């Protein structure tokens, strides 16, 4: 973490933000690639089924963001104060908390699968019901890797290696692309194949991240001597809650839109809206990726009480996000027709 304070702020911001934005892009492409293969080789009804599952995936990811961002903020502050032992106790606690929540949610979904499918709106159309069930009943088994993988990305950035998680996510993305082609196009496994491909890619990415933490990390370490501190768990939740709300709000909106569109327009409407959601998520993840990428820098400088650096970070970030927003708007509006042709 010493490089955070020893390099110019602008260079440090982009060193941490750009890899995180790329990671978010690739993560968004996981589900987008599934959608493209399913739409082209299974059908628009199958695409609608996968799109109905997106709000649930969003919910799982939101929990991961809350724990990952909440704990990493506290860890980076402790590291900034040179309290590495305390920071690593928080890291160990957060990792186990993520694991417990992922297993609990997976079991909850599997034990109430029919009810969850109904909440997602699949009961309103028998056309998509089986597709939703096939996709969800597979993808839920990989929740542990979804949740742990994202948190591991942030922890490795705190360790001073912001580019390594991007490499891991890229490897996972390429794995997903190859397996989607094999399972959906070659072996004709349909939405089940797409779910398996995405799950295996998450396992690949998460395993690479965990390997770094166990064998390569310099400051981030698992601690044997720690306890389940419920006050600290609450603090992790409080610190990451705003990020949780930001992420889950888009999932709630997608769920509401899915239910209304399914009732008013039908399955084809959900398929079309799904493609819009992919693009919307891509833009949102760009902004979130930048913001979360600079989070370790903010926390570290806060721990060091470098308030001038914090003001500079705020100015540079607002300007950068404003420019990013304008660029995204121009790109999307000028290429909407071509984007649609990718799916249909």
Domain ranges of the chain: 2-343
Which segments of the chain does DSSP mark as H helices, in order? Answer: 2-6, 9-41, 44-80, 84-111, 113-119, 126-139, 143-158, 164-180, 190-215, 230-264, 267-293, 295-304, 307-334, 336-343
What's phi and psi for 165, nearest 5 deg? Answer: -60, -35
Confidence of residue 2 (pLDDT cuts 50, 70, 90): very low
Half-sphere exposure of 173 (CA within 13 A, CB side): 18
Of the listed ranges 42-46, 207-211, 280-284, the one predicted with least confidence: 280-284
List, for residues 81-139, the tens digit of each pLDDT value: 889 999 999 999 999 999 999 999 999 999 999 999 999 999 877 879 999 999 999 99
The two tokens of residue 236 are 């992790």
**Whole-number Å distance between alpha carbons of 66 and 71:** 8
Q: What is the pLDDT of residue 209?
A: 96
Statement: residue 3 has pLDDT above 50: no
The token pair that represents 203 in the structure block: 């396992």
What does the alpha-carbon distance between residue 158 and residue 293 come to, in Å, rounded to a whole number?
10
In 3D space, the residue among 2, 44, 25 whose CA is nearest the CA of residue 293 turns out to be 25
Give CA–CA dist 274/120, Å, rounded.
14
The pLDDT of residue 308 is 86
- pTM metric for this prediction: 0.83
């Amino acid at each position: 973490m010493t490089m955070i304070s020893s390099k110019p702020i602008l260079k440090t911001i982009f060193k941490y933000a750009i890899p995180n934005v790329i990671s978010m892009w690739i993560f968004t492409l996981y589900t987008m690639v599934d959608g493209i293969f399913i739409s082209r080789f299974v059908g628009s009804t199958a695409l609608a089924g996968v799109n109905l599952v997106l709000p649930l995936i969003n919910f799982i990811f939101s929990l991961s963001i809350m724990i990952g961002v909440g704990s990493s903020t506290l860890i980076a502050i402790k590291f900034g104060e040179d309290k590495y032992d305390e920071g690593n106790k928080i890291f160990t606690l957060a990792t186990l908390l993520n694991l417990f929540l992922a297993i609990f949610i997976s079991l909850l979904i599997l034990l109430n699968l029919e009810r969850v499918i109904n909440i997602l709106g699949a009961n309103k159309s028998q056309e998509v019901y089986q597709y939703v069930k096939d996709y969800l009943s597979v993808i839920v088994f990989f929740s542990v890797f979804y949740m742990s993988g994202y948190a591991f990305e942030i922890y490795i950035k705190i360790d001073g290696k912001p580019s390594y998680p991007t490499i891991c996510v890229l490897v996972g993305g390429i794995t997903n692309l190859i397996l989607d082609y094999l399972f959906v196009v070659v072996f004709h496994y349909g939405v089940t194949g797409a779910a398996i491909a995405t799950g295996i890619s998450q396992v690949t990415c998460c395993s690479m991240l965990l390997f770094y933490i166990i064998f390569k990390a310099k400051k981030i370490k698992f601690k044997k001597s720690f306890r389940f501190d419920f006050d600290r768990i609450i603090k992790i939740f409080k610190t990451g809650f705003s990020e949780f709300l930001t992420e889950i709000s888009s999932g709630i909106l997608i769920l509401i839109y899915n239910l209304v569109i399914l009732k008013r327009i039908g399955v084809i409407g959900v398929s079309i809206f799904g493609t819009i959601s992919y693009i919307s998520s891509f833009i949102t993840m760009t902004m979130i990726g930048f913001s979360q990428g600079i989070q370790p820098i903010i926390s570290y400088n806060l721990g060091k009480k470098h308030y001038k650096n914090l003001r500079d970070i705020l100015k540079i970030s607002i300007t950068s996000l404003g420019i990013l927003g304008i660029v995204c708007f121009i790109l999307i509006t000028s290429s909407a027709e071509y984007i649609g042709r990718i799916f249909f």
